[in-house]
């Protein structure tokens, strides 16, 4: 699955971060998604109650990729919380766990191979995601501001990748419902990081999202 455009931008992270404007609150994020592996529900909807539709190769690849991408977010936020002890990282890490669990419901429903079967923190089947994790985690110790910038950037990546799946590949109702919930959660997460950066005296500017899309999310 080709995610090279987004990932290549992230792999030049030091340059992108240095371009953010500094100017001049703490906020944790509530997610709209609630996935429970025992009852197979997402936002109160039982995934298995929805029609079992033919799964395209693109939809299957997308589920595997997003499963690991949400794990990546969780792993990075857990590492940032361990370093900085700021509640926003812990809260959003828990939300990302629910996100990746929600994708697991679909992977199980459609009997796909699960790339997170072993779920070892910081390890990924997808090489591009492994490189992305390594790049992002290298910023962990620089400063709290750098850590918050990493968080905001991860949410931009999630929003772009999930929206691309919705726009280009998804026909199945159950996948669309889960992705809609995930992207709503990412909107909340991005707002939380932007507010925390504001409290650090940083005016965040979008790195990957267009100004129009970013302003629509933040405002």
Q: Tell me what pLDDT residue 18 has.
A: 36
pLDDT of residue 43: 58
| Confidence at residue 20, expressed as pLDDT on a 0 to 100 scale | 35
Whole-number Å distance between alpha carbons of 82 and 102: 25
Domain 61-218 has CATH 1.20.1260.10: yes
Q: Where are the domains of the chain?
A: 61-218
- Two tokens, residue 135: 């790049």
DSSP label at 150?
H
Q: Point out the residues of the chain with pLDDT beneath 50.
A: 1-39
Is the Cβ–Cβ distance between 139 and 146 less than 8 Å?
Answer: yes
Number of H helices, E strands in the chain: 8, 3
Helix (H) or strand (E) holding 101: helix 87-109
Question: pLDDT tens digit string along 71-104?
Answer: 999 999 999 999 999 999 999 999 999 999 999 9
């Amino acid at each position: 699955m080709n995610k090279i455009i987004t990932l290549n931008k992230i792999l030049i992270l030091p340059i992108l971060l240095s371009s953010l404007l500094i100017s001049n609150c703490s906020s944790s994020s509530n997610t709209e998604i609630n996935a429970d592996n025992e009852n197979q529900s997402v936002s109160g909807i039982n995934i298995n109650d929805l029609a079992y539709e033919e799964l395209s190769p693109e939809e299957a690849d997308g589920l595997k990729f997003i499963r690991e991408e949400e794990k990546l977010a969780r792993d990075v936020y857990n590492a940032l919380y361990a370093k900085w002890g700021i509640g926003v990282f812990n809260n959003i890490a828990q939300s990302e766990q629910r996100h990746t669990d929600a994708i697991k419901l679909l992977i199980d429903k459609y009997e796909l191979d699960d790339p997170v079967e072993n779920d070892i923190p910081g390890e990924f089947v997808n090489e591009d995601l492994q490189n992305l994790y390594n790049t992002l985690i290298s910023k962990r110790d620089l400063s709290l501001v750098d850590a918050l910038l990493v968080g905001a950037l991860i949410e931009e990546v999630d929003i772009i990748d999930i929206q691309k799946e919705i726009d280009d590949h998804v026909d199945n109702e159950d996948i669309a419902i889960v992705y809609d919930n995930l992207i709503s959660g990412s909107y909340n997460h991005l707002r939380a990081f932007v507010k925390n950066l504001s409290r650090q005296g940083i005016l965040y500017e979008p790195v990957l999202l267009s100004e129009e899309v970013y302003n629509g999310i933040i405002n």
